[in-house]
Amino acid sequence: MEPLISPSNCGGACASSDHLSRRTLLKWGGAAGIAWLTPLSQLLAREAESAPRGRPARSVIILWMAGGPSQLETFDPHPTSPIAHGSRAIATSLRGVQLGEGMPRLAEVMSEVTLVRSVVSKEADHERAVYNMKTGYRPSSTVVHPSVGAIVCHELDDAGMDLPRHISILPDQWPARGGYLGGRFDAFQVQDPKGPIQDVANPAPKERLEKRMRDLGVVEEAFGRGRPAGLDPQTTLHQVTLARATRLMGSDQLAAFDVNQAPASQRAAYGDTPFGRGCLAALRLVERGVRCVEITLDGWDTHVNNHDLQRKKIGILDPAFAALIRDLKERGLLESTLVLCGGEFGRTPKLNPLEGRDHWPYGFSVALAGGGFRAGHVHGSTDPAGEKREPQEEVQVEDLHATLLHGLGIRPGKELKTPVGRPLALSDGRVLRALLKT
C-alpha cells in the first residue's frame, strides 16, 4: 500500500505516514473478525483491483459543456422514439452507433471514442452538479474537494515547467479549484487564445523589473525579521508563487497559448470560435507537458427552444472535438492524454411547454477518448420511451472519477489529509474495468 503524502509535496498541508491508510486498516481489521466469511487474500485482491496497470496517461483535457447538454441531440439519440421530438441522428464509423445529426465530424472518428450513455447523478441543481462532476464528490459544508485537474497536478510531477500545469480556458463562474489541496492547484484562467494572454506581460522594462524585485526582497527581509515563525515569508508559499510568476512572464513556453502560430488549415479545422481556439491551445499546451486543460463551452441550459440552441452549440463542439482527437492521434499523444467531454447533467426526455428540455441527472452521456479507455465502445443505454429513470449499466459519478484517476496512473483510494488533519480518499468510487482496454 502507498503511504500518505508528505509535507514536501503537499505544501505543508498534509501529514506523512509509513502506515497503511485508515480505510484499508479498517477493512483488514474487519476481515480479522469475519475471516471465516472472507479470507484476507480476497480482500487484498479487491484492493489491488484499483491499482493502475500498464502505461498511464499523463495529461487530461476536459471539454466542459456548461449548463448540461442534451444527450438526445448529441451522444444518445433516439430518433424513432417520441422523446426525440423531431431530433434526427446520423450513422458513425462504428456499426450500429448513431450520434445527433449535427456531429458529422465526430461521427468519422468514433472508433477512437468511448461513449458512456448511462451516467447517473444525485444532483440536479447547476452549482451542486458542477461540483459533483468536477470533483467526484457531492458538496459538503465541512470540506472543499479538489477537481480532477488539481488532483492530477498534485500527484504527477511538473518536470520543471514554467507554464501553469492546470489551466482553464473560457472559464465560467465555477472554474476548477484546488479545494483542500490549496489555491496553488486552482486552474490558471485565460480567455480566448486569439488575443494575448492577460496578466503575463512584463509591466516594466527588464532592468526596472529587476530593480523592483531587489527592492521587494529588502522589504520582505525587514518584514520577516523578528516575526513569529508562522509569519516568516520563508515559511509561506508567497516567494514560491512570486518566483513562478516571474519565470512565467519571461518564458518562451508562453508561445503554446498563441494559436496564431498554428497553420491556417489547422486553425480552420477546429472552427473559428473561442472554443475551437481553446481546444487547439489545449493541444499545444499538452504537447509541452501541461497536465490538465479545461475548455468551457457555455450555453447548454436550454429550458426554452431546446432544438435550436442545442444545434448552435453542437455546431461549435463537433469540429473542435473531432480535430482534437485527430491531432492528438497524429502526434502520438492520444494514449498519453485523456479527453473527456460532458456537462453537469443531461436534459429531460420530454419537452416542456416552452419547447425546452429541463434538468435530467438520471441517465446522461459523456464521451471519452485516449488515456487507456476502450476505444470504439458504447457503455450503457437509456430507455427510448423516456419513462425509466434507471439506465442499463448505470455509471455513478464517483465511479467515473475513480476510473479517470486510474487511467492517469493515480490510485483512487489513496488518502490525503486536509489542512485540519482529516483523511480523505481521492475518490470514493470504484474503477469500471468495462471502460478500459485492460
Same domain membership, residue 230 and residue 104: no
Q: CA–CA separation, 170 vs 345, rounded Å?
A: 20
Question: Does any domain span residue 241?
Answer: yes
Q: Which domain holds residue 82?
A: 14-29+37-198+253-435
pLDDT of residue 220: 66
Domain end, chosen from 249, 269, 286, is at 249
Check whether residue 176 and residue 283 sit in a common domain.
Answer: yes
Question: Is 64 a member of any domain?
Answer: yes
Total domain count, the chain:
2
d(CA 53, CA 438): 8
Residue 318 and residue 298 in one domain: yes
- Do residues 75 and 167 share a domain? yes
- In a 13 Å sphere around the CA of 12, the CA atoms on its Cβ side amount to 7
pLDDT in tens, the chain (438 residues): 333 333 333 433 343 333 334 443 333 334 333 333 444 444 334 444 444 455 789 999 999 999 999 999 999 999 999 999 999 999 999 999 999 999 999 999 999 999 999 999 999 999 999 999 999 999 999 999 999 999 999 999 776 677 889 999 999 999 999 999 999 899 999 999 998 776 666 666 667 666 666 766 666 666 666 666 555 555 455 555 555 555 555 555 678 899 999 999 999 999 999 999 999 999 999 999 999 999 999 999 999 999 999 999 999 999 999 999 999 999 999 999 999 999 999 999 999 999 999 999 999 999 999 999 999 999 999 999 999 999 999 999 999 999 999 999 999 999 999 999 999 999 999 999 999 997
Q: How many Cβ atoms from other residues are within 10 Å of residue 225's Cβ?
A: 8
Specify whether 365 is located in the same domain as 275. yes
**Could you tell me which residues are beta bridge partners of residue 360?**
346
In a shared domain, residues 55 and 100: yes
Residues 172 and 292 in one domain: yes
d(Cα 298, Cα 69) in Å, to the nearest integer? 10
CATH code (residue 23):
3.40.720.10
Q: Which residues are within 8 A (CB) of 432 and not within 5 positions of it... i.e. 6 or more apart?
A: 379, 395, 399, 400, 402, 403
Query: Which pTM was predicted?
Result: 0.82
Whether residues 295 and 239 fall in one domain:
no
Cα angle 141, 241, 259 (rounded to 5 degrees) comes to 95
pLDDT confidence of residue 56: 86
> Of 95, 76, 96, which Cα lies nearest the Cα of 87?
76
Tell me: do 52 and 94 sit in the same domain: yes
Q: Is residue 3 part of a domain?
A: no
User: Which three cell numbers, joined as nine digits, stand for 101?
Assistant: 445529426
Does residue 312 belong to any structural domain of this protein? yes
- Measuring CA to CA, how many Å separate 265 from each of 200, 287, 336, 348? 28, 19, 25, 38
Note whether 410 and 288 are same-domain residues.
yes
Q: In degrees rounded to 5, what are phi and psi of residue 64? A: -95, 115
